Amino acid sequence: MARMTGTAQRAEQLLGTGVVSTTPVAGGDICTSTRLRLTDGRSAVIKTRPHAPAGFFEAEAAGLRWLAEAGGARVPELLAAADDCLVLAWVEPAKPSGDSAERLGRALAVTHAAGAPTFGADTDGFVGLAPLPNRPLPTWPEFYASRRVMPYVRAAVDRAALLPEEAAVIEAAVRRIHDLAGDLEPPARLHGDLWSGNIVWGVDGDAWIIDPAAHGGHRETDLAMLALFGAPHLQRIIDAYDEAAPLAEGWRDRVALHHLHPLLVHAVMFGGSYGPRAADAARSLL
């Protein structure tokens, strides 16, 4: 196999172990991922991005550590982190199975139940390359409206990804957020960006979660994100989760509320139909 000299050398510096070979990993439009075969027999993956925003990889590393501490959903072992890259233990991928999906649902319930000190986090983070304001607020409706939805409404309008009349519909839903949010729950320990692309289905039969935007939030947010772009065996994930940690009454009616933020993020980053989709989600809540 070819050896990407610069990447291999950086990994060797961080790991203190030689790299035998490197192989590009397909997928991902934010970072370049490269599989490393190490001289000690292990495999790892290094994520790199030239001129990454300050704190980008450090925030991901902190989120991975925090999620791993919960002892729930599996997280790849963090081998090294620096301002220019991140190195994780390699997870050999396989096709998703229903049994793996059920294990993920139960494990995710454990992760959420580990909780968080507050709604938010000690530092701001990233969702993809987009900034993620995390300054804590005392309740989830306040946090979600002020730190998730409204900053991206403004950004989407500024970038012509959301029409003013569409923004007005979303703002109307936000004004009702205390009524829409249902019974308040304590802060859950969230992955924060749990779409299907951030799940690696391993040959060991477990599902591993990667690329977090971790923070304290509402547990329904992670479940709604799984549904937004379609996770394999979604119903089995939800059913297993609900059996382990029953969801509050009316949770299905709130899925559109939890979709507002990721749709707005996509509107800002990619434009297209995401702005109108966010407005449609808000309209369904009114």
| pLDDT over threshold 60, residue 200 | yes
Task: Please answer whether residues 147 and 261 qualify as being in contact, where contact means their C-beta atoms are separated by less than 8 angstroms.
Answer: no
CATH 3.30.200.20 range(s) for the chain read 5-89
- Give the global pTM: 0.94
* Residues noted as catalytic: 193
CATH 3.90.1200.10 range(s) for the chain read 98-283
What confidence category does residue 165 fall into, taking pLDDT thresholds of 50, 70 and 90? very high
Provide the CATH number for the domain formed by 98-283 in this structure: 3.90.1200.10
| pLDDT over threshold 90, residue 170 | yes
Distance between CA atoms of 52 and 216, rounded to whole angstroms?
25
Helix, strand, coil tally for the chain in percent (to 5): 45, 20, 35
| pLDDT over threshold 90, residue 199 | yes
* DSSP per residue, 47-110: EE-TTPPTTHHHHHHHHHHHHHHTTSSB---EEEE-SSEEEEE---B----HHHHHHHHHHHHH
Distance between CA atoms of 22 and 85, rounded to whole angstroms?
15
Give residue 102's pLDDT.
97
Give residue 183's pLDDT.
81
- In the beta sheet, which residues pair with residue 21? 37
Q: What is the largest CA-CA distance in the chain?
A: 59
What confidence category does residue 208 fall into, taking pLDDT thresholds of 50, 70 and 90? very high
Give residue 235's pLDDT.
97
What confidence category does residue 129 fall into, taking pLDDT thresholds of 50, 70 and 90? confident
Joined tokens for residue 62: 């902190």
| pLDDT over threshold 80, residue 1 | no
Task: Please answer whether residues 66 and 58 qualify as being in contact, where contact means their C-beta atoms are separated by less than 8 angstroms.
Answer: no
Distance between CA atoms of 66 and 114, rounded to whole angstroms?
10
Residues 57-101: pLDDT tens digits? 999 999 999 999 999 999 999 999 999 999 999 999 999 999 999
Distance between CA atoms of 211 and 217, rounded to whole angstroms?
17
| pLDDT over threshold 80, residue 122 | yes
Looking at every residue in the chain, the average pLDDT score rounds to 94
Q: Between β-strands 85-89 and 78-81, what pairing exists: parallel, antiparallel or unpaired?
A: antiparallel
Distance between CA atoms of 200 and 89, rounded to whole angstroms?
12
Give residue 4's pLDDT.
59
The correct CATH number of 5-89 out of 2.30.31.20, 3.40.1390.20, 3.30.200.20, 2.20.25.90 is 3.30.200.20
Residue 44 Cα distances to 11, 20, 89, 224, angstroms: 9, 11, 4, 30
